[in-house]
Amino acid sequence: MHIVILGAPGAGKGTQADILCQELDLPHIASGDLFRQALEKKTELGLLAKSYMERGELGPSEIAIKMILERISLPDCVSGCVFDGFPRTLEQAEALDKALAEQGKSIDKAIYIQVPRKELVKRLSGRRICRSCQTPYHLMAAPPRVAGKCDKCGGDLYQRPDDKEETVKERLKVFFALTLPIVDYYKKQEKLIEVNGNLGIQNVAEKIISVLKPFVITEL
């Protein structure tokens, strides 16, 4: 099963992808994490993408596509995965479809988590991420049990530099201009599931799982 999670920055893609991956026992493939790992390791691709990330712009698509295709060629993705943050442009969506088709595979469903713009800004400014395992928290809506520490692994929490106000504005602009057209792309393929992302983490997760269940059972 291959599932794409779509949504603006702050819509809860990472949180919902995590829950879904546990439910379906699939790996969580987050392109933003791949970019950040490449940057931390100071690889050529990571350094190339650095300035784009700092400005809240998309990195070059060929880098994103290369990293994702490499990642999904690893054995843990053999029976599928949940994509988070990828594809982000029509070019990436088409490249992903092509690469999967070459292996006789395809995207099964794309889930679009919708959240009003005002709420997105509020969420991003309170977001904190675990430096070790990338689990997201929110200072108000989903605080950790111990301030500044991850509930899962005890790692330090930090604010992503691109969650600062100015960069957030740019990231939202980029989403509505370049990524939103993908919603239509999957709608035309009759793969789109739209979910109200403004209902609280558990309610959104239950909604996603309940709409996916009939398809998962068919797959099995």
Which residues contact ligand AMP (rule: CB under 6 A)?
Answer: 9, 31-32, 35, 52-53, 56-59, 61, 64, 85-86, 88, 92, 162, 171
Catalytic residue (one of 149, 160, 187, 191):
160
With residue 92 as reference, give the H or E element that holds it: helix 90-102
Shortest distance, CB of residue 171 to ligand AMP, whole angstroms?
Answer: 5
Reply yes or no on whether 36 is catalytic.
Answer: no
Reply yes or no on whether 123 is catalytic.
Answer: no
Alpha-carbon span 39 to 33, nearest angstrom: 10
**Count of residues in the chain:** 220
Of 9 and 144, which has the nearer Cβ to ligand AMP?
A: 9
Reply yes or no on whether 71 is catalytic.
Answer: no
Of 60 and 206, which has the nearer Cβ to ligand AMP?
A: 60
Of 15 and 31, which has the nearer Cβ to ligand AMP?
A: 31
Shortest distance, CB of residue 84 to ligand AMP, whole angstroms?
Answer: 7
Alpha-carbon span 48 to 133, nearest angstrom: 24
DSSP assignment letter at 9: T
Alpha-carbon span 34 to 78, nearest angstrom: 19
Report how far apart, in Å, the C-alpha atoms of 215 and of each of 59, 109, 148, 205 are: 33, 9, 39, 16
Q: Residues 120, 11: contact at Cβ < 8 Å?
A: yes
Shortest distance, CB of residue 35 to ligand AMP, whole angstroms?
Answer: 4
Reply yes or no on whether 117 is catalytic.
Answer: no
Of 166 and 219, which has the nearer Cβ to ligand AMP?
A: 166
Shortest distance, CB of residue 145 to ligand AMP, whole angstroms?
Answer: 24
Catalytic residue (one of 109, 127, 128, 207):
127
Nearest residue to ligand AMP, scored by beta-carbon proximity: 32
Alpha-carbon span 213 to 12, nearest angstrom: 20
For residue 87, is the peptide bond before it cis, meaning its omega torsion is within 30 degrees of 0? yes
Catalytic residue (one of 36, 71, 88, 128):
88
Query: So which residues are the catalytic ones?
Result: 13, 88, 127, 160, 171
